[in-house]
């Protein structure tokens, strides 16, 4: 399947994305707005930190008891009248869902927003089997019309401006051009309403699965998940095995933090609880409910004591919005269903291949760890993955031999050592600094050093330096010394 993991080099893709100033403007705009909302909502909810700690504790416990909880969840779901299928990998999950559609003669499939179905590349598989698959989340609908993949976990069309979308609707839906979000949304509502009323099968993900009652919880704003799980006769939910939590009483802690971090809302518009098919006399709800429990690399993550923590992820998408890398390159550069900091952890485990390089696409600044609603130590896991990737013996049991450094890394290490020796002596630092400045000075053009001959070109290729300014430094030093003297006196 070409969609499963696009073998692309992050660093090449990132370079192209950085050059796209339009994309950068859109990303800065959207992610910035998100962060403002999040900060405002949190500020007026004093219990946020307490709820965050509670969520973290429940996830720790849930993952530690994953075996027991999954057994209980499966029992309860089946007792409620659901069919449960356990899929070891993406291929098994696809095969089950495609087989189901074929067996029941479902030709029209509606999809609520779901990362898990993106992960298993369900759409092309259903299309191949002759089904018409329509994404019904507005953002997903837009990227589907463009023949693209979502570039953000919760805002799939974050890389597009309203003008882009206006042109797209004009082209694909044959409506007069408008870039007004309200008008565009109204058009999508009308088109998708027909699709919902006609579809035989609905597919969504699940945000939480409650073991105690056998209940799936779906969190959303538009109503597409609710439509997909209410109107069609057959409903399929694809859930990663890490979504299970013990009891109904645990749920409110997550709901109190999830929307606040994901979108800056207190609660999303719809929180849907689905425990089974409709009962006698009921008009709504599917005749059949199928729950696909998806492993697809998750149990291998569980086996690694450091990586395990990544299974706490709620898929809120906040770490993408704070990430200085994501904000520059956007989601598509990652070449994976899951972009951004958490994606750089999940992708190598779930997809392998070229995504193994993603843990290196981080500055380790820690902003992701700060915003994470369940406090996942993302930088630590990224370092762990880098270490695993560079180690010669890829055991994966957490007890790896010391990695054999590649030559570039060795040189970098030596460089840092030399620098630290030098930096310990102020006089030497000053002299060497002055020498470097003299060396750079002839290459300065309009305030910047953008090019130097080899071997320094390695450096100037990726960075522009401010031109050395001798006089001001002396003045600045004089100022500091004066301040120091004043402090002493």
- Residues between 220 and 259 that touch other proteins (CB under 8 A): 221-224, 226-227, 230-231, 247-249, 251-253, 255-256
Please give the residues from 17 up to 56 whose contact with other proteins meets the rule CB under 8 A: 26, 29-30, 33-34
Please give the residues from 78 up to 117 whose contact with other proteins meets the rule CB under 8 A: 80
Q: How far is the CB of 201 from other proteins (least distance, A)?
A: 16
Nearest-angstrom CA–CA distance, 210 and 77: 9
Q: Which lies closer to other proteins via its Cβ, residue 272 or residue 355? A: 272
Q: Which lies closer to other proteins via its Cβ, residue 273 or residue 451? A: 273
Q: How far is the CB of 92 from other proteins (least distance, A)?
A: 28
Nearest-angstrom CA–CA distance, 135 and 139: 9
Scan for tokens 């309200």, then name that residue.
Answer: 182
Among positions 282, 401, 426, 462, the unique one binding other proteins when judged by CB under 8 A: 282
Nearest-angstrom CA–CA distance, 142 and 160: 9
Q: How far is the CB of 248 from other proteins (least distance, A)?
A: 4
**By CB under 8 A, is residue 76 in contact with other proteins?**
yes
Q: DSSP of 397-459, one letter per residue?
A: SS-PPPP---HHHHHHHHHHHHHHHHHT-HHHHHHHHHHHHHHHGGGEETTEE----TTTHHH
Q: How far is the CB of 67 from other proteins (least distance, A)?
A: 22
Scan for tokens 């390695």, then name that residue.
Answer: 458
**By CB under 8 A, is residue 188 in contact with other proteins?**
yes
Please give the residues from 315 up to 344 whose contact with other proteins meets the rule CB under 8 A: none
Burial of 471 (0-12, 13-18, 19+ CB in 10 A): exposed
Query: Three-state SS for 22?
Result: helix
Please give the residues from 283 up to 302 whose contact with other proteins meets the rule CB under 8 A: 283-285
- Asked if 390 contacts 405 with a C-beta cutoff of 8 angstroms, the reply is yes
Among positions 4, 118, 119, 137, the unique one binding other proteins when judged by CB under 8 A: 137
Ordered alpha helix ranges (H), 287-339:
298-303, 318-322, 326-329
Q: Which lies closer to other proteins via its Cβ, residue 199 or residue 357? A: 199
Nearest-angstrom CA–CA distance, 274 and 244: 14
Q: How far is the CB of 300 from other proteins (least distance, A)?
A: 32
Q: Which lies closer to other proteins via its Cβ, residue 186 or residue 478? A: 186
Beta strands 201-204 and 215-220 are unpaired
**By CB under 8 A, is residue 265 in contact with other proteins?**
yes
Q: DSSP of 61-105, one letter per residue?
A: HHHHTHHHHHHHHHHHHHHTT-EEEEESSHHHHHHHHHHHHHHTT
Among positions 21, 182, 392, 420, the unique one binding other proteins when judged by CB under 8 A: 182
Please give the residues from 140 up to 169 whose contact with other proteins meets the rule CB under 8 A: 142, 155-158, 160-162, 165
Please give the residues from 197 up to 216 whose contact with other proteins meets the rule CB under 8 A: 197, 212-215
Among positions 93, 120, 138, 325, the unique one binding other proteins when judged by CB under 8 A: 138
CA distances from 242 to 1, 18, 186, 223, 294 (A): 24, 34, 36, 24, 9
Number of residues that bind other proteins (CB under 8 A): 71
Nearest-angstrom CA–CA distance, 405 and 174: 57
Q: Which lies closer to other proteins via its Cβ, residue 94 or residue 226? A: 226
């Amino acid at each position: 399947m070409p969609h499963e993991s696009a073998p692309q080099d992050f660093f090449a893709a990132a370079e192209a994305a950085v050059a796209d100033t339009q994309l950068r403007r859109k990303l800065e705009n959207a992610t910035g707005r998100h962060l403002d909302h999040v900060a405002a909502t949190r500020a007026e909810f004093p219990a946020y930190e307490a709820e965050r700690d509670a969520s973290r504790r429940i996830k720790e416990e849930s993952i530690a008891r994953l075996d027991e909880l999954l057994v209980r969840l499966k029992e309860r779901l089946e007792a409620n009248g659901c069919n449960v299928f356990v899929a070891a990998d993406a291929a098994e999950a696809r095969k089950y869902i495609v087989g189901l559609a074929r067996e029941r003669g479902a030709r029209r499939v509606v999809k609520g927003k779901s990362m898990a179905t993106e992960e298993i590349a369900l759409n092309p598989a259903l299309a191949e089997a002759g089904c018409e698959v329509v994404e019904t989340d507005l953002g997903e609908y837009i990227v589907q019309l463009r023949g693209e993949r979502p570039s953000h976990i919760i805002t799939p069309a974050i890389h597009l401006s309203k003008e882009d979308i206006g042109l797209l609707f004009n082209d694909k839906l044959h409506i007069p051009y408008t870039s007004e979000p309200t008008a565009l949304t109204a058009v999508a509502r009308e088109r998708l309403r027909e699709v919902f009323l006609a579809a035989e099968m609905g597919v969504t993900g699940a945000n939480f699965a409650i073991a105690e009652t056998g209940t799936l919880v779906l969190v959303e704003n538009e109503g597409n998940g609710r439509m997909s799980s209410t109107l069609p006769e057959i409903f399929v939910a694809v859930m990663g095995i890490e979504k299970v939590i013990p009891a109904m009483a645990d749920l409110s802690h997550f709901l109190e933090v999830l929307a606040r971090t994901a979108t800056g809302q207190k609660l999303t518009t719809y929180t849907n609880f689905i425990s089974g098919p409709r009962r006698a006399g009921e008009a709504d709800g599917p005749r059949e409910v199928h729950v696909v429990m998806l492993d697809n690399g998750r149990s291998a993550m569980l086996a690694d004591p450091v990586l395990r923590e990544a299974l706490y992820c709620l898929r809120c998408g906040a770490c993408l919005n704070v990430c200085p890398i994501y904000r520059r390159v956007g989601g598509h550069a990652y070449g994976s269903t899951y972009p951004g900091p958490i994606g750089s952890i999940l992708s190598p485990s779930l997809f392998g291949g070229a995504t193994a390089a993603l843990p290196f696409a981080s500055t380790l600044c820690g902003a992701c760890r700060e915003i994470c609603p369940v406090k996942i130590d993302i930088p630590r896991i990224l370092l762990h993955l880098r270490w695993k990737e560079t180690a010669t013996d890829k055991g994966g049991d957490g007890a790896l031999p010391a990695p054999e450094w590649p030559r570039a890394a060795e040189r970098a290490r030596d460089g840092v050592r030399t620098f630290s020796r030098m930096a310990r002596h102020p006089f030497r630092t000053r002299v060497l600094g002055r020498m470097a400045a003299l060396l750079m000075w002839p290459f300065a053009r309009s305030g910047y050093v953008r090019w130097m001959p080899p071997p320094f070109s390695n450096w100037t290729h990726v960075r522009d330096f401010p031109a050395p300014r001798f006089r001001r430094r002396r003045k600045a030093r004089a100022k500091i010394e004066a301040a120091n003297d004043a402090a002493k006196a």
